[in-house]
Structure 1
Amino acid sequence: MLHGRSAPVLAGFDLQYKTYSWAEALAQAGYDVFMMDLQGSGRSPRPEMGSPCNLSKTDQELLTPRPPGFTPCSPSYPFQLNNSDSDQAELHTVVEYIKQECKVPKVAFVGWSAAAFTMGPYAVQHPENVESMFLLAPIFPPQATSSPPSPLPSSGVPMSLGTRYGLEKAWNLELRSPDQREPGMVEAVWAAHMDSDPVGRTWGPPEGLNRIRSFVRWGWNETTAGQSGVLGGDVPVLIVDGEHDRTANTTPPSSTEFTFSVRALYDAITGPHKVMVRALGASHQMPWEQQHQNLHNLSTQWIKDRQVGGETTGVFVMDKNGVISPAP
């Protein structure tokens, strides 16, 4: 299980609140479950992210009132932290560890949001290691670049900051009914973020700040996704898309690098073993919403049978009761 851009893996997949732990649901179904934080996220090492100087000027303005005595400063590491190659190399190391630890030839992938940037291209390059792929709300820019920038590392700063207010504001934009998210969820989710960031929780306002690694991406687009028919061929793919998700489905801006479309990923996959399920009444934050158990059940079925309701191809909708039917 691999996290997205801003939520550490334990907050995303193992939220210790009522029945929301997705990882626990899979474990109870009999699977060995491994979760990884890429470098710069959660409980993995966070090089160059301990100094508040390594923030943009805008983010430095959030550092009030903590740490005490902080004054604006220039970055000591004026580069972005990770890139597509380094992320895939980390994933490969973990996959090889799991294969050896569990004595299995392949690993099933579960990824949320920006995890697709790493898991998608990795599966194309290493189908021998990937049994299947379950992508929730995958970020997919169909017209993005295939080439790395030069030089590397890319200029910038190694991290940005997320706020509790920002989390709630973005989530609220995708709420369409009063029962979509139960009361207290923002607090539970933010507390889990802070549990995975002992430094960020001591910065800024009393509720703390979430340090988010920066990364440079390339090689995940309609060409990559369709390469050699691997995705949907050697690697069966299930894509789940929340009906109200405007994070992974954007209105095209001026830059194609930031035009995202979940349906475009389904269309780009050239292999026949591909399924897409639109979850009615759900947002980009479905693991933290009332429909989370539908998500758990769907992933358990897919990992076991690599089918959805007996089907291995097609586009479907899932209602709030978890009932799946062909898309109109």
Structure 2
Amino acid sequence: MKASVLIGLFLSTLLAVPALAQSSSLVTDEMMVKTADAGIEIYVRNKRPANMTTFRPEQTVLYVHGATYPAETAFDLKLDDLSWMEYIASRGYDVWLLDLRGYGRSVRPREMDEKPEANPPIVTGEVAVGDIGTVVDFILQRRNIPRLNLLGWSWGTTLMATYTTRNPAKVQRLILYAPVWIRQTPSLVQAGPGKLGAYRTVTREQAKERWYTGVPEEKKASLIPPSWFDAWADATFATDPVGQKMNPPSLRAPNGVVQDGTEYFGAGKPYYDPSKITVPTLLVDAEWDRDAPPYMAQTLFPLLVNSPGKRYVELAEGTHTIIMEKNRLRLFQAVQAFLDEGKQ
């Protein structure tokens, strides 16, 4: 591993849905959490040790996804019989994930029932941060704890960081995997020509092409173990039955993130003030990431002037999606070490 350590509301109600199959040592719960917006519910999943009876802030983690794909099909996708969610939970943590509205198993706004050009971009950062706040409050009340750890990937880093600047008392530690910051290179999230609509569509082929962007040609064959891409794509595209019926089969993703990216990071303006982050923060990225290239984390790190114990780790031979690549355990280990520090 190459490591550069620049060593830097309305509380919703619960509607239970059937739980996943339980492992011998972990308990899994699934639920829908209501928001203040009529008809909008957020999908939430929890995994924890079966013998866990007491809950503490430093052992509680909430994960949120990026701009295009839902949470559970990466964070809780079993590859070689192990998901990152289970990796953390099996080490004594109460682990949660959520799908923002319009993604995965959460309710899709009514605009997604119409053609994309019929409405302006939906699910902006402000809306997404509101969904995160709803779920955070739900977990804090359910576990009777004052705060928890936040983990975001890609766009999720912007959302989790923004939430932290506004609610520092509710955050124990902040983990930003593939952090997004001011752009010097074009975004790989493309919405096509013309006026930006409510949502965009992505095919499996486009997803695979984006994944491999930036990987040296001689390294592409060994980047993803056999069947792992198909396992992820099958699980991810199945979360959008409407998109599956399109020709070609596609996944729909809200365009609020694209609009925000153009207005803020793409225009040289920060979306949030890093100096307002006052909790220990980890930035972790991979050298071949072209969605959130390492220069972003390297620029953001020194701006975290009030984050105690901040650090930055860069992982070798990985992309934006190292979470599901051959070197994924290097990501897991780096994040786990940071989480475990908080338990000492």
> After TM superposition, is the score higher than 0.5?
yes
2:125 matched to which residue of 1? Answer: 84
**Deviation, structure 1 residue 95:** 0.5
Query: Is 1:264 aligned with 2:326?
Result: no
Instruction: Kindly report the root-mean-square deviation, in angstroms, between the aligned alpha carbons of the 2 structures.
Output: 2.4
Structure 2 gaps of 5+ residues are: 1-62, 185-194
1:61 matched to which residue of 2? Answer: none
**Structure 2 CA distance, aligned partners of 1:213 and 1:19?**
31
Which range is displaced more, 187-196 or 298-307?
Answer: 298-307
1:121–1:219 Cα contact (<8 Å) kept: no
1:54 matched to which residue of 2? Answer: 115
Change (3 A) 1:167 1:142: closer
Query: Is 1:31 aligned with 2:72?
Result: no
Task: Output the amino acid matched with 1:157.
Answer: G
**Structure 2 CA distance, aligned partners of 1:142 and 1:266?**
15
1:253 matched to which residue of 2? Answer: none
Percent identity between matched residues is 26
Q: Deviations over 1:81-117 (max 9, x none)?
A: 1222221111111101111111211110111001022
Task: Output the amino acid matched with 1:175.
Answer: V
1:128 matched to which residue of 2? Answer: 169
**Deviation, structure 1 residue 20:** 4.8
SS at match of 1:111: strand
Query: Is 1:7 aligned with 2:65?
Result: no
Query: Is 1:273 aligned with 2:328?
Result: no
**Structure 2 CA distance, aligned partners of 1:174 and 1:163?**
19
**Deviation, structure 1 residue 54:** 2.0
**Deviation, structure 1 residue 24:** 1.1
SS at match of 1:96: helix
Q: How does 1:176-215 map to 2 (within 5 A)?
A: 176=216, 177=219, 178-205=221-248, 208-215=249-256
Query: Is 1:21 aligned with 2:61?
Result: no
Structure 1 gaps of 5+ residues are: 57-74, 144-154, 251-259, 311-328
Task: Output the amino acid matched with 2:208.
Answer: E
1:142–1:264 Cα contact (<8 Å) kept: no
**Structure 2 CA distance, aligned partners of 1:118 and 1:224?**
9
1:245 matched to which residue of 2? Answer: 289
Q: How does 1:87-126 map to 2 (within 5 A)?
A: 87-126=128-167
1:147 matched to which residue of 2? Answer: none
Change (3 A) 1:223 1:39: closer
Change (3 A) 1:20 1:179: farther
**Structure 1 CA distance, aligned partners of 2:291 and 2:116?**
24
2:329 matched to which residue of 1? Answer: 293
Q: Deviations over 1:141-197 (max 9, x none)?
A: 279xxxxxxxxxxx8422100110011111222323243221222211111112322
- Tell me how many residue pairs correspond in the alignment: 261
Structure-1-length-normalised TM-score: 0.73
Which range is displaced more, 81-90 or 35-44?
Answer: 81-90
1:67 matched to which residue of 2? Answer: none
